[in-house]
Amino acid sequence: QIRYQVYQQEKVLMNLLHARDVLQGTSLYLLLTESLCHHGSGPAVRDALEAGLKIVQIREKEMPTQELIEHAKRVREWTHAAGALLIINDRPDIALAVDADGVHLGQDDFPVEEARKMLGARKLIGLSTHNIDQARQAVRSGADYIGVGPTFSTTTKQFTEFAGLDYIKEVAAEITLPWFPIGGINAQNLNQVLEAGATRAAISGAICGAEKPHEVTQKLLEMFAKNSSPS
Protein backbone atom coordinates (compact mmCIF):
# COMPACT_ATOMS: atom_id res chain seq x y z
CA GLN A 1 0.00 0.00 0.00
CA ILE A 2 2.75 2.44 1.04
CA ARG A 3 4.84 1.49 -1.96
CA TYR A 4 1.83 2.16 -4.21
CA GLN A 5 1.32 5.59 -2.63
CA VAL A 6 5.00 6.46 -3.13
CA TYR A 7 4.71 5.31 -6.73
CA GLN A 8 1.63 7.51 -7.24
CA GLN A 9 3.40 10.49 -5.68
CA GLU A 10 6.43 9.94 -7.92
CA LYS A 11 4.16 9.80 -10.94
CA VAL A 12 2.53 13.11 -9.94
CA LEU A 13 5.96 14.68 -9.45
CA MET A 14 7.20 13.38 -12.81
CA ASN A 15 4.12 14.82 -14.52
CA LEU A 16 4.63 18.12 -12.76
CA LEU A 17 8.29 18.30 -13.75
CA HIS A 18 7.44 17.31 -17.28
CA ALA A 19 4.70 19.93 -17.65
CA ARG A 20 6.88 22.72 -16.20
CA ASP A 21 9.85 21.67 -18.38
CA VAL A 22 7.74 21.66 -21.52
CA LEU A 23 6.23 25.03 -20.60
CA GLN A 24 9.66 26.51 -19.93
CA GLY A 25 11.13 25.20 -23.16
CA THR A 26 8.31 26.11 -25.50
CA SER A 27 7.97 29.19 -27.68
CA LEU A 28 4.72 28.72 -29.58
CA TYR A 29 1.33 28.34 -27.85
CA LEU A 30 -1.80 27.57 -29.87
CA LEU A 31 -5.31 28.60 -28.83
CA LEU A 32 -7.61 26.16 -30.54
CA THR A 33 -11.12 27.39 -31.42
CA GLU A 34 -13.31 25.38 -33.77
CA SER A 35 -15.06 28.37 -35.36
CA LEU A 36 -11.74 29.92 -36.45
CA CYS A 37 -10.40 26.77 -38.07
CA HIS A 38 -10.30 26.56 -41.81
CA HIS A 39 -10.54 22.75 -41.96
CA GLY A 40 -11.97 22.06 -38.48
CA SER A 41 -10.10 22.05 -35.19
CA GLY A 42 -9.07 18.35 -35.33
CA PRO A 43 -7.06 18.62 -38.56
CA ALA A 44 -5.65 22.03 -37.49
CA VAL A 45 -4.31 20.83 -34.15
CA ARG A 46 -2.99 17.53 -35.53
CA ASP A 47 -1.18 19.45 -38.27
CA ALA A 48 0.32 21.90 -35.80
CA LEU A 49 1.41 19.11 -33.42
CA GLU A 50 3.03 17.26 -36.28
CA ALA A 51 4.98 20.42 -37.11
CA GLY A 52 6.35 20.52 -33.53
CA LEU A 53 3.83 22.51 -31.46
CA LYS A 54 4.13 21.72 -27.71
CA ILE A 55 1.22 23.57 -26.04
CA VAL A 56 -2.45 23.69 -27.01
CA GLN A 57 -5.20 25.56 -25.19
CA ILE A 58 -8.77 24.59 -25.96
CA ARG A 59 -10.70 27.87 -26.02
CA GLU A 60 -14.38 27.23 -26.66
CA LYS A 61 -16.59 29.81 -24.98
CA GLU A 62 -19.89 28.56 -26.43
CA MET A 63 -19.46 24.77 -26.60
CA PRO A 64 -21.87 22.79 -24.36
CA THR A 65 -20.07 21.04 -21.50
CA GLN A 66 -20.52 17.44 -22.65
CA GLU A 67 -19.38 18.25 -26.17
CA LEU A 68 -16.41 20.14 -24.74
CA ILE A 69 -15.41 17.13 -22.63
CA GLU A 70 -15.54 14.78 -25.62
CA HIS A 71 -13.57 17.26 -27.75
CA ALA A 72 -11.00 17.77 -24.99
CA LYS A 73 -10.55 14.00 -24.58
CA ARG A 74 -9.70 13.65 -28.28
CA VAL A 75 -7.24 16.56 -28.15
CA ARG A 76 -5.78 15.02 -24.96
CA GLU A 77 -4.95 11.84 -26.91
CA TRP A 78 -3.29 13.76 -29.72
CA THR A 79 -1.32 16.02 -27.35
CA HIS A 80 -0.16 13.03 -25.28
CA ALA A 81 1.03 11.25 -28.41
CA ALA A 82 2.99 14.38 -29.40
CA GLY A 83 4.44 14.98 -25.89
CA ALA A 84 2.55 18.29 -25.84
CA LEU A 85 0.68 20.03 -23.02
CA LEU A 86 -3.08 20.54 -23.00
CA ILE A 87 -4.60 23.57 -21.26
CA ILE A 88 -8.34 24.24 -20.91
CA ASN A 89 -9.67 27.79 -21.03
CA ASP A 90 -11.78 28.93 -18.04
CA ARG A 91 -12.76 25.48 -16.73
CA PRO A 92 -10.73 23.87 -13.91
CA ASP A 93 -13.42 21.17 -13.66
CA ILE A 94 -12.91 20.09 -17.26
CA ALA A 95 -9.12 20.27 -16.91
CA LEU A 96 -9.45 17.72 -14.07
CA ALA A 97 -12.03 15.57 -15.88
CA VAL A 98 -9.89 15.08 -18.99
CA ASP A 99 -6.52 15.08 -17.16
CA ALA A 100 -5.33 18.19 -18.97
CA ASP A 101 -2.06 19.78 -17.84
CA GLY A 102 -3.71 22.95 -16.66
CA VAL A 103 -6.16 25.75 -17.02
CA HIS A 104 -6.02 29.24 -18.49
CA LEU A 105 -7.95 31.99 -16.71
CA GLY A 106 -8.97 35.52 -17.61
CA GLN A 107 -9.04 38.48 -15.22
CA ASP A 108 -12.78 37.93 -14.61
CA ASP A 109 -12.72 34.13 -14.34
CA PHE A 110 -11.89 31.96 -11.34
CA PRO A 111 -9.21 33.70 -9.23
CA VAL A 112 -5.88 31.86 -9.49
CA GLU A 113 -5.84 31.10 -5.75
CA GLU A 114 -9.29 29.45 -5.94
CA ALA A 115 -8.35 27.44 -9.03
CA ARG A 116 -5.17 26.32 -7.24
CA LYS A 117 -7.30 24.93 -4.39
CA MET A 118 -9.16 22.79 -6.90
CA LEU A 119 -6.17 21.78 -9.02
CA GLY A 120 -3.35 21.59 -6.48
CA ALA A 121 0.30 22.01 -7.43
CA ARG A 122 -0.02 19.32 -10.10
CA LYS A 123 -1.62 21.50 -12.74
CA LEU A 124 -0.41 24.60 -14.52
CA ILE A 125 -2.41 27.80 -14.16
CA GLY A 126 -2.09 30.56 -16.75
CA LEU A 127 -3.58 34.02 -16.43
CA SER A 128 -4.33 36.68 -19.07
CA THR A 129 -2.87 40.08 -18.18
CA HIS A 130 -3.26 43.43 -19.92
CA ASN A 131 -0.97 45.74 -17.95
CA ILE A 132 2.09 45.52 -15.74
CA ASP A 133 0.11 45.74 -12.48
CA GLN A 134 -1.90 42.69 -13.50
CA ALA A 135 1.33 40.90 -14.46
CA ARG A 136 2.87 41.61 -11.03
CA GLN A 137 -0.34 40.51 -9.32
CA ALA A 138 -0.34 37.30 -11.41
CA VAL A 139 3.16 36.49 -10.14
CA ARG A 140 2.05 37.07 -6.53
CA SER A 141 -1.04 34.90 -7.02
CA GLY A 142 1.06 31.88 -7.96
CA ALA A 143 0.27 31.67 -11.68
CA ASP A 144 2.64 29.43 -13.66
CA TYR A 145 2.63 31.58 -16.78
CA ILE A 146 0.94 34.70 -18.08
CA GLY A 147 -0.59 35.95 -21.32
CA VAL A 148 0.53 39.47 -22.25
CA GLY A 149 -1.78 41.33 -24.55
CA PRO A 150 -3.46 42.31 -26.69
CA THR A 151 -0.41 43.09 -28.79
CA PHE A 152 -2.10 43.85 -32.13
CA SER A 153 -5.70 44.28 -33.18
CA THR A 154 -7.57 41.02 -33.59
CA THR A 155 -11.06 39.86 -34.43
CA THR A 156 -10.70 36.75 -32.23
CA LYS A 157 -11.56 38.72 -29.06
CA GLN A 158 -13.14 42.14 -28.53
CA PHE A 159 -10.94 44.79 -26.93
CA THR A 160 -11.24 48.53 -26.56
CA GLU A 161 -7.61 49.14 -25.56
CA PHE A 162 -4.35 47.71 -26.80
CA ALA A 163 -1.44 46.92 -24.57
CA GLY A 164 0.76 46.79 -27.67
CA LEU A 165 4.50 46.32 -27.98
CA ASP A 166 5.14 48.71 -25.07
CA TYR A 167 3.55 46.26 -22.65
CA ILE A 168 5.81 43.49 -24.00
CA LYS A 169 8.85 45.69 -23.28
CA GLU A 170 7.68 46.32 -19.70
CA VAL A 171 7.16 42.61 -19.07
CA ALA A 172 10.49 41.69 -20.68
CA ALA A 173 12.23 44.04 -18.22
CA GLU A 174 10.96 42.38 -15.04
CA ILE A 175 8.82 39.26 -15.30
CA THR A 176 10.67 35.96 -14.95
CA LEU A 177 7.70 33.56 -15.23
CA PRO A 178 7.13 32.18 -18.73
CA TRP A 179 5.03 34.78 -20.60
CA PHE A 180 3.30 34.75 -23.95
CA PRO A 181 2.42 37.85 -25.95
CA ILE A 182 -1.01 37.41 -27.52
CA GLY A 183 -3.39 39.18 -29.88
CA GLY A 184 -3.19 39.44 -33.66
CA ILE A 185 0.25 37.82 -33.87
CA ASN A 186 1.20 36.11 -37.13
CA ALA A 187 4.26 35.24 -39.23
CA GLN A 188 4.27 38.76 -40.71
CA ASN A 189 4.49 40.63 -37.40
CA LEU A 190 6.17 38.07 -35.09
CA ASN A 191 9.58 39.70 -35.55
CA GLN A 192 8.27 42.94 -33.99
CA VAL A 193 7.19 40.91 -30.95
CA LEU A 194 10.60 39.24 -30.71
CA GLU A 195 12.41 42.57 -31.16
CA ALA A 196 10.38 43.98 -28.25
CA GLY A 197 11.97 41.31 -26.02
CA ALA A 198 9.62 38.30 -26.19
CA THR A 199 10.82 34.74 -26.75
CA ARG A 200 7.35 33.21 -26.97
CA ALA A 201 3.89 33.94 -28.41
CA ALA A 202 0.32 32.64 -28.20
CA ILE A 203 -1.52 32.51 -31.50
CA SER A 204 -5.00 31.47 -32.58
CA GLY A 205 -6.35 32.78 -35.89
CA ALA A 206 -3.05 32.75 -37.79
CA ILE A 207 -2.72 28.98 -37.25
CA CYS A 208 -6.35 27.75 -36.94
CA GLY A 209 -7.50 29.84 -39.89
CA ALA A 210 -4.56 28.98 -42.14
CA GLU A 211 -5.09 27.02 -45.32
CA LYS A 212 -2.06 24.94 -44.25
CA PRO A 213 -1.64 25.00 -40.43
CA HIS A 214 1.40 22.69 -40.67
CA GLU A 215 3.30 25.12 -42.89
CA VAL A 216 2.47 28.17 -40.76
CA THR A 217 3.41 26.38 -37.53
CA GLN A 218 6.71 25.27 -39.02
CA LYS A 219 7.46 28.79 -40.24
CA LEU A 220 6.65 30.32 -36.82
CA LEU A 221 8.79 27.72 -35.01
CA GLU A 222 11.70 28.47 -37.36
CA MET A 223 11.36 32.18 -36.61
CA PHE A 224 11.54 31.52 -32.86
CA ALA A 225 14.51 29.18 -33.31
CA LYS A 226 16.41 31.87 -35.25
CA ASN A 227 15.72 34.39 -32.50
CA SER A 228 16.79 32.65 -29.25
CA SER A 229 15.61 29.91 -26.94
CA PRO A 230 12.89 30.66 -24.40
CA SER A 231 14.32 31.53 -21.00
The least distance separating ligand 3NM from the CB of residue 129, rounded to whole angstroms, comes to 7
CB of 196 to ligand 3NM, least distance (A): 15
| Residue, CB closest to ligand 3NM | 149
Q: Which residues bind ligand 3NM (CB under 6 A)?
A: 31, 128, 147, 149-150, 154, 156-157, 182-185, 203-206
Alpha carbons 221 and 76: distance in angstroms, whole number: 22
Kindly state the smallest distance separating residue 90's Cβ from ligand 3NM, in Å: 11
Pick 154 or 199: Cβ nearer ligand 3NM: 154
**Nearer of residues 2 and 205 to ligand 3NM, judged by Cβ:** 205
Nearest distance, CB of residue 117 and ligand 3NM, angstroms: 24
